[in-house]
């Protein structure tokens, strides 16, 4: 009899995506804590799927930086390291600053208002020195710019790497690691440039926020 190849492959891929999303969400929201061991049998019992999509999903999460794996030794939730935080924030800056420059000319008045409100939330996080809240809110803010950048390739790259890079910023001393004192000024500059529809100034403010070197004249 003919062997149906495509439908099961598509179904397995969908299952892999679902499993990856559920494990990812559990890591991001703290249900699965840094350093926690991930055992296949426990994941099978939780997710009610076979071992294959779980291993495939874990492989994806290793590449994303959310899971660490040593063959025949352990699979565990990644533990953010302070020495990797600056590299992570700069990498996000390279991506996000470009997305900002592409997006600003395309923003509708409604989206611009949403962005302004999101920046104000980030400023409140800064005032309270709430690193975890700023991490989450800043990622949401810049994801809005990415969503409206009009470049599918950049959207795909950001989708693939943002979670893992942002996760690396979950270190206890993030206030000391980042240029906390100057970030409020950069957020204000980003807000002004976005409202003015100035992509170059907005890109510069986003770069300054992410510790990228070089002059960043404020608008």
3-state secondary structure of 32: coil
Structure-token pair, residue 113: 């208002």
| The most confident of 11-20, 35-44, 109-118, by mean pLDDT | 109-118
3-state secondary structure of 76: strand
Cα angle, residue 76 at apex, residues 47 and 156 outer, rounded to 5°: 75
Question: What's the pLDDT tens digit per position in 89-116?
Answer: 899 999 999 999 999 999 999 999 999 9
pLDDT above 50 for 218: no
Question: What's the pLDDT tens digit per position in 38-67?
Answer: 999 999 999 999 999 999 999 999 988 899
Structure-token pair, residue 213: 């070197």
Nearest to 188 by CA among 120, 121, 126: 120
Backbone angles phi, psi at 70, to 5 degrees: -125, 115
Question: What's the pLDDT tens digit per position in 65-95?
Answer: 899 998 888 999 999 888 888 889 899 999 9
Q: Alpha-carbon distance 193 to 183, whole Å? A: 15
DSSP code for 90: H
Percent of the chain at pLDDT exceeding 70: 91
Q: Alpha-carbon distance 80 to 70, whole Å? A: 17
Q: Alpha-carbon distance 26 to 51, whole Å? A: 18
pLDDT at 1: 37
pTM above 0.75, yes or no: yes
At 170, the pLDDT band (50, 70, 90 cuts) reads confident
Q: In this structure, are residues 103 and 145 in contact, taking their beta carbons and an 8 Å threshold? A: yes
Task: Name the strand (E) or helix (H) holding 204.
Answer: helix 199-209
pLDDT above 70 for 11: no
pLDDT at 8: 52
């Amino acid at each position: 009899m003919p062997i149906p190849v495509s439908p099961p492959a598509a179904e397995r891929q969908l299952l892999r995506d679902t499993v990856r999303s559920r494990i990812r969400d559990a890591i991001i929201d703290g249900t699965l804590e840094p350093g926690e061991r991930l055992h296949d049998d426990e994941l099978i019992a939780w997710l009610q799927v076979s071992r294959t999509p779980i291993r495939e999903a874990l492989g994806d999460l290793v590449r994303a930086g959310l899971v660490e794996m040593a063959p025949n030794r352990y699979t565990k939730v990644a533990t953010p390291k302070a020495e990797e935080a600056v590299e992570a924030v700069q990498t996000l800056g390279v991506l996000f600053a470009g997305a900002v420059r592409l997006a600003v000319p395309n923003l509708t008045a409604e989206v611009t208002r949403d962005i302004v409100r999101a920046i104000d939330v980030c400023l409140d996080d800064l005032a309270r020195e709430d690193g975890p809240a700023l991490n989450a809110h800043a990622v949401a803010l810049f994801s809005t710019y990415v969503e409206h950048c009009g470049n599918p390739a950049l959207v795909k790259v950001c989708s693939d790497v943002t979670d893992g890079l942002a996760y690396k910023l979950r270190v206890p001393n993030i206030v000391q690691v980042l240029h906390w004192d100057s970030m409020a000024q950069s957020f204000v500059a980003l807000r002004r440039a976005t409202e003015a529809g100035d992509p170059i100034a907005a890109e510069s403010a986003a770069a300054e926020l992410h510790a990228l070197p070089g002059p960043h004249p404020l608008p």
